[in-house]
Amino acid sequence: MPRKVDIVCDVGGTNMRVAASVVGGALQEPLKIPTPQDPTIGIAKLAELARTVAEGAKIESMVVGFPGLLNEYEELYDATNLPEWNGVKLAQELKAALQVPVHVENDALIAGLGEAHAGAGRDYDVVGYVTVSTGVGGGRIVNGAIDPHPYIIGHQRIGDSELEDMISGTSVRKVFHCEPQDLHIEKRNILADVLAVGLSYAHEHWRPDVFVWGGSMMLGKNPIP
């Protein structure tokens, strides 16, 4: 019987990763490259990396986590850090390129789903997942399923600004003119205070049993405390 794999992809505002998962088995080591701003190049690279990590095996399906949302026509929108990808029918384009079923979902929602099933949220009925990285995203997982009524945590307003524009890696580079890992502890404490306000607002909407945090600003070098 020929070897079969599923392909999983994480398209981030900075990098994208593609890995193969042997059907019924474990996830293999991912390949990582910078995310192209041009979606035509990005789609071609995703298809190329999918074939590479499959290593000749038959690809059964592909799932893509993307830092944006999907409308009723399966078009991407609200891709703040990849604006040229807005309007692209990513699942349709990848399906045509690889001739396999493709499912695209918001990357933070997929991360939250994983935490609810196999991570820090697995013992809770309602999980609030928040990722702070190049941007800010998140979602609510209820009884192991994604809440279909999204609350866009990165766009919630705190004072005159949106949360994403105050604590994300992109905002740190714009406001403080340095890389996030080089930010002084006093400035990181300010980010922590802002995030706390954002989480208190999110709690009013989600009422989670637990918050789970992810992303490079929370887990990387010199994270938000």
The pLDDT of residue 25 is above 80: no
Q: Regarding predicted confidence, which is higher, 162 or 150?
A: 162
SS3 97: helix
Answer for the pair 11, 66: CB distance below 8 angstroms, yes or no.
Answer: yes
Residues 155-211: tens digit of each pLDDT: 999 999 999 999 999 999 999 999 999 999 999 999 999 999 999 999 999 999 999
> Do residues 89 and 136 touch, judged by C-beta distance below 8 A?
no
Whether the pLDDT of residue 3 is over 90: the answer is no
Whether 150 shows a pLDDT value over 80: the answer reads no
Q: What is the pLDDT of residue 8?
A: 96
Helix or strand or coil: residue 58? strand
Phi, psi of 168 (to 5 degrees): -75, 165
pLDDT for residue 222 is more than 70: yes
Q: Which residues contact 101 (CB under 8 A, 6 or more apart)?
A: 61, 62, 95
Per mean pLDDT, which range of 48-62, 104-118, 146-160, 165-179 is the poorest?
146-160
Quickly state the pLDDT bin for 139 (edges 50, 70, 90).
very high
User: pLDDT band for position 2 (50/70/90)?
Assistant: low
Question: Which one is predicted more confidently, 207 or 134?
Answer: 207
Mean confidence (pLDDT) of the chain: 94
Residue 148 has what pLDDT? 85
Query: Structure pTM?
Result: 0.86
* pLDDT in the model for residue 80: 86
Instruction: Provide the percentage of residues in the chain whose pLDDT is more than 70.
Output: 99
> Is the separation of the CB atoms in 7 and 62 below 8 Å?
yes
Q: pLDDT of 58-95, one tens digit each?
A: 999 999 999 999 999 999 999 988 999 999 999 999 99
pLDDT of amino acid 142 = 97
For residues 118 and 141, the answer to whether their CB atoms sit within 8 Å is: no
DSSP-assigned beta bridge partners for residue 18 = 9, 31
